[in-house]
Amino acid sequence: MANDKKLVEAITSMDVDFAQWYTDVVKKAELCDYASVKGCMVIKPAGYAIWENIQHELDRRFKETGVQNVYMPLFIPESLLDKEKDHVEGFAPEAAWVTVGGNEQLQERLCVRPTSETLFCDFYSRDIHSYRDLPRVYNQWCSVVRWEKTTRPFLRSREFLWQEGHTAHATAEEAEARTIQMLNVYADFCEEVLAIPVVRGRKTDKEKFAGAEATYTIESLMHDGKALQSGTSHNFGDGFAKAYGIQYAAKDNSLKYVFQTSWGMTTRMIGAIIMVHGDDNGLVLPPRIAPTQVVIVPIQQKKEGVLDKAFEIKDVLSNFRVKVDDSDKSPGWKFSESEMRGIPVRVEIGPRDIENNQAVLVRRDTHEKLTVSIDNIEAEVEKLLDTIQHDMLEKARAHRDAHTYEATDFDSFVKTINEKPGFVKAMWCGCQECEDKIKEVTGATSRCIPFKQEQLSDKCVCCGKPATKMVYWGRAY
């Protein structure tokens, strides 16, 4: 039991130091490790298996909307990156540059892609000729590089994994519809699969993507009350098309520019899962994304029949992602370890249970125990996994709602931001000056102009001038 205690004690309590708690969970749940290149990460099997489930589930949803996967090169020639002014200004400061290849100095430096709008535009300018070629609804799964100064595992790293969708359409309306459609795919995925409730809305001009006409976002709230931008979808209008010369022959044979979108979700969602659901015992994974949904822990496994029964139950539960922990560790150690790794349901089975034809189910999220007949165990586990998935979303939603505040004057706004970590809803005049001032005074940024607007007052919370929109504000990762 000394060992069991050590495993748990090694984690800092989230109430004592949330940042340290996060780092401890990442490490103890074996999700990732630091790499020899500063700011890069090694994603370990337990972390990568979560990403594979995210990929699988998102990719399926994408394809249902007509998305096709492709692969674009890793490198962007500098002259290609330079073509769209706002875009290059946004990304050049964080670029990593290849200058030598095959022992020779390159004639033109190559940027390691920070995002691939420029590559898709270059390709589309050669690939799209006629209205028959539209729409193009392409996506790629890859890694991108942004030379960030301060980094944190999953949340902000110099290289991260993501998907980036890039589409081209005949009309502005169709591009806007696709932009919103993909935002909704992200939002539904977060809520249905990750059990993370999100606020859907539009970014202010100050916060939008470099080169976009409009950026839409889903924003989630972490346990510590800080916001996390969880997925974005951009409408580029025909700005990139004009910069890169992407035209098509319309039905009347006139040449027209295409309208484009892009949208992405990244490995930072693993960070979101940790920070929304985790507790002082470690990771807590929603069943739909958990690489292992059920772990069976035999008690007194050396006694005859115990291990056999454990594997028998594993067979019965083969519709789920299930494992038997038959290692030579103590049951207590196995309990701690399965909790640290966030496995949603633990099945305990020992000689006494076998005698009574029963097993004990333990919920990771609430620690509740449930004794069930082995005869019904498949149905009971299925029901329990559904309940956990549902309850985790509702718990996260309740936490988010309890940490969403309103402010109608600047003093109470500042006081709320400083004293009550969470979202603050407040009216805004639409000027960047007020956004800048709010950031300067409080460190909070505009998270989004939510689709669901409320009229909290008719004045901007900052300058008092007439308000045009209600905005979610908060400090963010």
Residues that bind its own copies (CB under 8 A): 33, 35-37, 40-45, 48-49, 51-52, 68-77, 80, 92-103, 109-110, 112, 119, 122-123, 126-127, 138, 142-143, 145, 147-149, 158-159, 161
SS3 category, 82? coil
Of 426, 438, 417, 423, residue with least CA distance to 469: 426
Is-contact 331 359, C-beta < 8 A?
no
Please give the Cα distance from 185 to 165 (Å, whole number). 12
Shortest separation between residue 237's beta carbon and its own copies, angstroms: 23
Shortest separation between residue 144's beta carbon and its own copies, angstroms: 9
Shortest separation between residue 258's beta carbon and its own copies, angstroms: 17
Phi first, then psi: what are they for 205, rounded to 5°? -60, -35
Q: Which is nearer to its own copies, 145 or 195 (CB)?
A: 145
Q: Which is nearer to its own copies, 148 or 391 (CB)?
A: 148
Please give the Cα distance from 159 to 175 (Å, whole number). 29
Shortest separation between residue 353's beta carbon and its own copies, angstroms: 29
Q: Which is nearer to its own copies, 121 or 199 (CB)?
A: 121
- Looking at the DSSP bridge assignments, the partners of residue 282 are 279
Cis previous bond, 344, omega within 30: no
Of 188, 273, 227, residue with least CA distance to 425: 227
Q: Which is nearer to its own copies, 85 or 369 (CB)?
A: 85
Please give the Cα distance from 179 to 215 (Å, whole number). 9
What torsion, rounded to 10 degrees, do the Cα atoms 262, 268, 269, 275 define?
A: -150
Q: DSSP assignment, residue 282?
A: B
Q: Which is nearer to its own copies, 133 or 205 (CB)?
A: 133
Q: Which is nearer to its own copies, 77 or 464 (CB)?
A: 77
Shortest separation between residue 119's beta carbon and its own copies, angstroms: 7
Tokens of 78: 């500098």
Q: Which is nearer to its own copies, 122 or 337 (CB)?
A: 122
Shortest separation between residue 348's beta carbon and its own copies, angstroms: 24
Between the alpha carbon of residue 150 and those of residues 92, 155, 266, the distances in Å are 17, 11, 18
Shortest separation between residue 338's beta carbon and its own copies, angstroms: 18
